[in-house]
Amino acid sequence: MIESLRLFRSVCNSRWFYNTAMFFFLNKKDIFEEKIKTTSIQCLFKNYMGKLVFVYKRFYKRSVIGWMAKR
């Protein structure tokens, strides 16, 4: 996931795409749900302080992605 977030950040912040609208599709939710059962989300996002419930994890992930996409 970290590598995916890095790639997304680099694409969003690329000078080639500065004035380009982007859509971000989150797929493979089922795989994410299974992996997150065995790995703490705090390993990926040190700032995450929410309850360890999937809904909160998904919301936090979206907010981090939104933050990285801001120019």
Is pLDDT larger for residue 12 or for residue 68? 12
Residue 70 marked in a binding site: no
| Ramachandran class of 50: left when φ > 0, alpha when ψ lies in -120 to 50, beta otherwise | beta
pTM: 0.43
CA-derived radius of gyration, the chain: 13
- What secondary structure does DSSP assign to 11-40, as a single string? HHT-GGGTT---------HHHHHHHHHHS-
How far is it, in rounded angstroms, from Cα 42 to Cα 52? 9
Residue 28 marked in a binding site: yes
- Quick one: pLDDT at residue 65? 58
At residue 66 the predicted structure's pLDDT band, cuts being 50, 70 and 90, is: low
Pick from 38, 63, 64, 66: which is nearest to 52 by CA?
38
At residue 46 the predicted structure's pLDDT band, cuts being 50, 70 and 90, is: confident
Mean pLDDT (whole number) for 47-68? 58
Residue 30 marked in a binding site: yes
**pLDDT, tens digit (0-9, with 9 covering 90-100), for 33-42:** 777 777 776 7
